[in-house]
Structure 1
Amino acid sequence: MIRPEFVIEDEQSLRGLFQPTHTLATLKLQRALDRHAQAFIRRSPFLCIGTQDMNGNADVSPRGDPVGFVQILDQHTLAIPDRPGNNRLDSLSNIIANPRVGLLFIVPGYDDTLRVNGTARLVTDPALLETMRVNDRTPRLAIVVSVDEVFLHCAKAFRRSHLWDPAHFQDRSEMPSLSKIILDQTNGAPSDDDEMRKIDDDLEVEYSKTLY
């Protein structure tokens, strides 16, 4: 149990724990996508998008595609294709309720990341969607983001975590498969190993059919 006297509830108390913000950390915030931000985005095959519903309930969703999948429409606008998923539509529903979004772009091997904050719309313009076709599959919609803030984030988190260091990679087999975990959490996973293996194999087949 966390004792109330150790809970920080106002910004003055928060900032009292830290040194003042470095001048460069303040100045680095941009209002448009300059050439460096654009170059970073064109190299990125992966991002996370943070959204909230009208009640402030938060969600973060990963998005991945071939390198450069996010289109730069101009210095103030990005377009993200929406690929097939589990159809929960958490991020998309949140955008309708509250269009404010935060994006975190990641490039494999890079320790720094790019953060973009802005306002999103869900767009079904056929001309735009056609430019996002992959393997003859066109997305049903795109998330178009009007950019408000752009800045590069330093490498400390990635270096502390050794995220790209193979020596720190973990063996996925040390945990159950995704299918088994979800079944354990819901209807119950089969005890028979062969039956469980077939379920895992079926998921891989489903991946191959529905990625786009």
Structure 2
Amino acid sequence: MQHGSAITSEEQLRALYPPTHALAVQKLQPTLGVHAQDFIRRSPFVCLGTQNLDGRADVSPRGDPAGFVKILDNKTLAVPDRPGNNRLDSLSNIIANPAVGLLFMIPGFDDTLRVNGFARLVTDPELLETMSVNNRVPTLAIVVRVNEVFLHCAKALRRSRIWEPEHRQDRRQMPSLIKMILDETTGAPGEEEMRKIDAGLEEDYQKTMY
């Protein structure tokens, strides 16, 4: 990087780009309108962005059958917390700093929906029961009080061509999840032992999805 090339002020930043289009300003809404709600009901996948008080950021993927994020009213969403790795990064961040960002995606849609707000963790039995899958209720729900909502344009997904079948990549071109982790840490075992470990992970997926 050349000396002096870093952008250190918003004035410098704004000077690099043309003014915001009026529509981009208008699209920011304080509540969940009819189309935003329809988008959320269709979405099987959302990314949850959080940050702790020290500024450490985290983005966590959340997925379930379409409509798994509950719309409690036009200012409130509830996201079930399904079984994971128990690091609890997002949940710990929310306790420290309730500001969150959500990015909803729908397979086949190039547009996305962005929602910003403030979250809290709740264990209300009646709410959790509405999120039951396979007779298993989540341990808790992330309830988000919405303060910003806007539809995001299609450019990023069109550039990535993410939904086009001919651009799908073969998962076998990279090692398994566990092997990649072991390669970067303690070292992976031999091929035969690695097959057993990978099979165990797949079995665990089936048992602990909910």
Q: Assess same fold via TM > 0.5.
A: yes
Is there any run of 5+ residues in structure 1 with no aligned partner, and where?
none
Pairwise mapping of residues 14-29 of structure 1 onto structure 2 (< 5 A)? Answer: 14-29=13-28
Give aligned-pair identity as a percent.
69
Find the residue that maps to 2:90 and give its secondary structure. Answer: helix
Pairwise mapping of residues 150-189 of structure 1 onto structure 2 (< 5 A)? Answer: 150-189=149-188
Q: How many residues align?
A: 210
Query: CA-atom RMSD, angstroms?
Result: 0.6
* 1:64-120 Cα shifts (integer Å, max 9, x gaps): 001100000000000000000000000000000000000000000000000000000
Task: Tell me the CA shift for residue 181 of structure 1.
Answer: 0.4
Runs of 4+ in 1 over 4 A off after TM superposition: none
Find the residue that maps to 1:5 and give its secondary structure. Answer: coil
Task: Tell me the CA shift for residue 189 of structure 1.
Answer: 0.3
Is there any run of 5+ residues in structure 2 with no aligned partner, and where?
none
Q: Distance in 2 between matches of 1:5 and 1:170?
A: 39
Find the residue that maps to 1:109 and give its secondary structure. Answer: coil
Pairwise mapping of residues 90-101 of structure 1 onto structure 2 (< 5 A)? Answer: 90-101=89-100
Q: Distance in 1 between matches of 2:99 and 2:117?
A: 6
Using the size of structure 2 for normalisation, the TM-score is 0.99
Q: Distance in 1 between matches of 2:139 and 2:194?
A: 33
Q: Distance in 2 between matches of 1:131 and 1:164?
A: 31
Partner residue, 1:72: 71
Among 196, 200, 203, the alignment partner of 1:202 is 200
Task: Tell me the CA shift for residue 142 of structure 1.
Answer: 0.1
Task: Tell me the CA shift for residue 3 of structure 1.
Answer: 2.7
Task: Tell me the CA shift for residue 4 of structure 1.
Answer: 3.2
Q: Distance in 2 between matches of 1:18 and 1:54?
A: 31
Q: Write the letter of the residue equivalent to 2:117.
A: G
Q: Distance in 2 between matches of 1:77 and 1:135?
A: 25
Partner residue, 2:103: 104
Using the size of structure 1 for normalisation, the TM-score is 0.98
